[in-house]
Amino acid sequence: MGYKDVKFPKESIFLVTGGAGFIGSNLCETILEKGHKVRCLDNLSTGKQKNVDLFIDNLNYTFINGDIRNLDTCLESTKDVDYVLHQAAWGSVPRSIEMPLFYEEVNIKGTLNMMEAARQNSVKKFVYASSSSVYGDEPNLPKQEGREGNVLSPYALTKRVDEEYAKLYTKLYGLDTYGLRYFNVFGKRQDPNGAYAAVLPKFITQLLNNEQPIINGDGKQSRDFTYIENVIEANLKACQASNEVAGEAFNIAYGGREYLIDIYQDLSQALGKTIQPIFGPERKGDIKHSNADITKAKEMIGYNPDWNFESGIKEAIGWYKENL
């Protein structure tokens, strides 16, 4: 179960792009704990220096302050690398609506640079972060690979284009690519600050600070919130997946469905708070309901998530209490 039984040759080298970010730093931590070498590539535009400082004294850890928009940087950082875990991207649906050209440059061109560098340097596996946002306006639940609608934001479009390029790189060049469609990931080191912060860390920190949170819309939207440990498992298992399933994209979630207003009430209860939220306008580009069918990931890459929402949120609350 989980990733504890996932083993790699001792001399394996991993490159984690976006390794100073929330998901990337958790991946770096786990791979280092397994005794392997990690290169972290990040330009610290959204990643945090403190997430680099956590590991800087580890002899198996190398930090490269560089940008995926620079092909030479990508080529240099992938030399002698066995596995690329490509997490570097700019997130946030609303921000992408304000900055479409920038998202094209980072999320599409940057990812293409990384795939090309991985191909030229004969990387064994290229695992990359996609997103549940690729499902767009497809109304059916649960979300199932192969049944996508029209995308609703530039961010979603960048992730869909990444998936198409990954398919081509597998088909044309033999690069083993595996796309992971993350569903609302949460957990330790997720940034609660800023206008585009994810909803769970924002709720938790606002409640801890006795602030009144804003819920966009009526709170009846639902999500398949996915604890970070499940995402780590998916990345490591994709590195061991058969090349017969290369070029595919997989839903990475728990397979649950939580309503935002229920979550808010549960968090309030867990933190002993009685603060009424403010209901604001719905966010442009948001998907109303999102939960995942994870059958394909189970069958093709052996993904078998241990952490449900309840166990994950308990850990997350504990972390924020200690680290705020």
| Domain housing 296 | 13-185+228-255+287-307
Q: Is residue 195 part of a domain?
A: no
The mean pLDDT of the chain is 95
Work out how many domains the chain is built from and give that number. 1
Give the containing element (helix H, strand E) for 61. Answer: strand 61-65
Q: Is 82 within a domain?
A: yes
Is 213 part of a structural domain of the chain? no
Poorest-pLDDT segment among 116-120, 210-214, 238-242, 300-304: 210-214
Q: Is residue 64 very low, low, confident or very high in pLDDT (cuts 50, 70, 90)?
A: very high
Exposed/middle/buried for 268, CB within 10 Å: 0-12, 13-18, 19+?
A: middle
Residue 214 lies in a domain: no
Task: Tell me phi and psi for residue 102, to 5 degrees.
Answer: -65, -40
Q: Which residues are designated catalytic?
A: 155
H or E, element range at 38: strand 37-42
For residue 2, is pLDDT > 80? Answer: no
Residue 27 lies in a domain: yes
How many whole angstroms separate alpha carbon 41 and alpha carbon 239? 18
Which is nearest to 107 in space by CA: 122, 123, 125, 92? 92
Of 92-106, 173-187, 208-222, 242-256, give the lowest mean pLDDT range: 208-222
Residue 264 is assigned to a structural domain of this protein: no
Question: Which CATH number does the domain housing residue 26 bear?
Answer: 3.40.50.720
Mean pLDDT of 207-216: 92
**What is the average pLDDT across 194-211?**
89
Predicted confidence at residue 289, as pLDDT, reads 87
Q: What span, in angstroms and rounded, lies between the C-alpha atoms of 166 and 171? A: 9
The answer to whether residue 319 sits within a structural domain is no
**pTM score over 0.85:** yes
Nearest to 170 by CA among 104, 103, 245, 95: 245
Q: How far apart are CA 19 and CA 287, in angstroms?
A: 27
Residues 130-154: pLDDT tens digits?
999 999 999 999 999 999 999 999 9
pLDDT for 210 equals 95
DSSP structural state of residue 315: H
Is 272 domain-assigned? Answer: no
